[in-house]
């Protein structure tokens, strides 16, 4: 099949690469000329395991090309995916300008029976706005659909190839058939819905997962005051199949490009229709106070943080990515700096982005955890990187003056840490 993918961020690039790998002819389009040049040179603009090889293989086979030219990408396409960003605006709503502008740009080049698929996360009803825009610019018969994406950064390829489900939201039988055909090589249950339901599934799923995390974080606070171990509690809770074990891992909160933005957006579009979402509002509130809660715990042990040398392990919003969008590690560091602490930090991948986008943060960067430890009197684990899970405690003891380990991701074994002669402080344990 001939496919165009508009937007070459995480969702767009992964979608384009995988569809090309199935043998489809795919054109990736973006307004960002620099990004397209990078891709044309065979480079990947961000880190995602396996993506670079997949892109190169399919570019080499000429099944995948990149352009800024809509007049090249759209006319041959039987299916067009809109995969542009929908960031939060100042009111917490999804900013739909990129979606509308993509619709405007593609409309003049649409050909008969093209299926336009909105993959960007958009509030229910957005397709009606998109339809208005396209209808003004073309006479051809086309179809609209919504196929939301559930990929996680760090496992984006696997999540796209083997998702739990593929949601195909369209009110048109022909478009449904085309999309079922296109998704045939992908595993996972097919769920056929109308467009609005597909759009809402995405927000409902993300806000549920975010609520699970905040729920675990609230129970962790309760465990702190009662002296229970939240990891045992969550194991006991998660074994109930109706609840499930995933996304019950306590920490300093959720970040990233999706959960914070989508939670705010669902609250905003519910409010517009005067629907109260108390559970989701609570989840959001808990997430925004979780870093403060952790800082207060740290201060109970260290007292005033002024001039204290604090080492922070992790800057990315989670492990296995260089993405720092809405990273809780950065929220934590900003607060430490406000408290006038001296901050030393290391991340396996994300330091370059922090230096570039937050040059005002007075962080002393290190190129490994040992360099951080040598400077610090206390260590904070802020991101759940694998390499921090088995921190060499003997080496830490040997090379540093560190006395406290504050585990903001509950990834260390407290008994081992204590045995090695450190004070261990996690969340709810």
Is 258 in the active site? yes
Stretch that binds ligand UDX, among 77-85, 183-191, 253-261, 416-424 (CB under 6 A): 253-261
Measured between alpha carbons, how far is 213 from 363 in angstroms, rounded to an integer?
28
Q: For Cα atoms 413, 415, 418, give the angle at the middle one, nearest 5 degrees.
A: 110
Binding mask 120-149 toward ligand UDX (x if CB under 6 A, else -) reads -----------------------------x
Q: φ and ψ at 124, to 5 degrees?
A: -55, 135
> If 0-12 CB within 10 Å is exposed, 13-18 middle and 19+ buried, where does residue 380 land?
buried
Measured between alpha carbons, how far is 75 from 4 in angstroms, rounded to an integer?
9
Using the minimum distance from each CB to ligand UDX, give the nearer residue, 76 or 92.
Answer: 92
Task: State the minimum distance, in angstroms, from the CB of residue 91 to ligand UDX.
Answer: 21
Q: Residues 258, 354, 373, 425: which is the catalytic one?
A: 258
Stretch that binds ligand UDX, among 60-68, 168-176, 252-260, 410-418 (CB under 6 A): 252-260
C-beta of residue 118 within 8 angstroms of C-beta of residue 99: yes
Q: For Cα atoms 188, 189, 192, give the angle at the middle one, nearest 5 degrees.
A: 130
Using the minimum distance from each CB to ligand UDX, give the nearer residue, 259 or 344.
Answer: 259
The yes or no reply on residue 247 touching ligand UDX (CB under 6 A) is yes
CA nearest to 1, candidates 162, 169, 160, 114: 114
The yes or no reply on residue 214 touching ligand UDX (CB under 6 A) is no
Count CA within 13 A, CB hemisphere, residue 241: 0
The yes or no reply on residue 318 touching ligand UDX (CB under 6 A) is yes
Q: Which of 152, 271, 297, 374 binds ligand UDX (CB under 6 A)?
A: 152
C-beta of residue 120 within 8 angstroms of C-beta of residue 85: yes
Supply 382's token pair.
């802020």
The yes or no reply on residue 258 touching ligand UDX (CB under 6 A) is yes
Q: Which of 28, 169, 256, 428 binds ligand UDX (CB under 6 A)?
A: 256
The yes or no reply on residue 254 touching ligand UDX (CB under 6 A) is yes
Judged by CB under 6 A, how many residues of this single chain contact ligand UDX? 21
Site for ligand UDX in 219-238 (CB under 6 A): none
Q: Which of 259, 388, 404, 422 binds ligand UDX (CB under 6 A)?
A: 259
Measured between alpha carbons, how far is 111 from 142 in angstroms, rounded to an integer?
8
Query: Which residues are known to be catalytic?
Result: 258
Which residues contact ligand UDX by CB under 6 A?
149-153, 206, 209, 213, 247-249, 251, 254-259, 317-318, 384
């Amino acid at each position: 099949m001939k496919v165009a993918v508009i937007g070459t961020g995480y969702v767009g690039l992964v979608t384009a690469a995988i569809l090309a790998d199935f043998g489809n002819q795919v054109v990736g389009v973006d307004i960002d000329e620099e990004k397209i040049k990078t891709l044309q040179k065979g480079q990947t603009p961000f880190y995602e395991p396996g993506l670079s090889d997949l892109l190169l293989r399919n570019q080499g086979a000429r099944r995948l090309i990149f352009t800024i030219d809509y007049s090249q990408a759209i006319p041959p396409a039987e299916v067009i995916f809109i995969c542009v960003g929908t960031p939060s605006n100042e009111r917490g709503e999804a900013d739909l300008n990129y979606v509308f502008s993509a619709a405007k740009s593609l409309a003049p080049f649409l050909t008969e029976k093209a299926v336009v698929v909105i993959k960007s996360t958009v509030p229910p009803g957005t397709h009606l706005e998109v339809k208005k825009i396209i209808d003004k610019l073309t006479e051809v018969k086309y179809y609209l659909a919504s196929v939301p994406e559930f990929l996680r950064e760090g496992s984006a390829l696997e999540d796209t190839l083997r998702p739990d489900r593929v949601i195909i939201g369209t009110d048109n039988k022909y478009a449904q058939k085309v999309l079922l055909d296109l998704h045939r090589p992908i595993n996972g249950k097919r769920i056929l819905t109308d467009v609005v339901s597909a759009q809402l599934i995405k927000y409902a799923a993300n806000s549920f997962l975010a609520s699970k995390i905040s729920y675990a974080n609230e129970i962790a606070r309760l465990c702190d005051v009662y002296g229970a171990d939240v990891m045992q509690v969550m194991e006991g809770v998660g074994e109930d199949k109706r609840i499930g074990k995933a996304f019950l891992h306590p920490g300093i909160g959720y970040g990233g490009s999706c959960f914070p933005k989508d939670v705010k957006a669902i609250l905003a579009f519910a409010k517009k229709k005067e629907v109260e979402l108390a559970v989701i509002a609570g989840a959001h509130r808990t997430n925004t106070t979780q870093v403060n809660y952790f800082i207060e715990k740290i201060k109970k042990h260290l007292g005033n943080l002024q001039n204290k040398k604090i080492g922070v392990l992790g800057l990315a919003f989670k492990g296995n990515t260089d993405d720092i969008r809405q990273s809780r590690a950065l929220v934590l560091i900003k607060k430490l700096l406000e408290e006038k602490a001296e901050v030393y930090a290391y991340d396996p991948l994300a330091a370059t982005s922090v230096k570039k986008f937050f040059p005002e943060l007075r962080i002393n960067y290190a190129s490994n955890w040992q360099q951080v430890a040598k400077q610090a009197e206390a260590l904070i684990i802020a991101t759940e990187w694998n390499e921090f899970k088995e921190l060499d405690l003997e080496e830490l003891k040997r090379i540093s003056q560190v006395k406290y380990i504050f585990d903001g991701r509950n990834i260390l074994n407290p008994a081992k840490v204590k045995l090695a002669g450190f004070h261990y402080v996690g969340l709810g344990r």
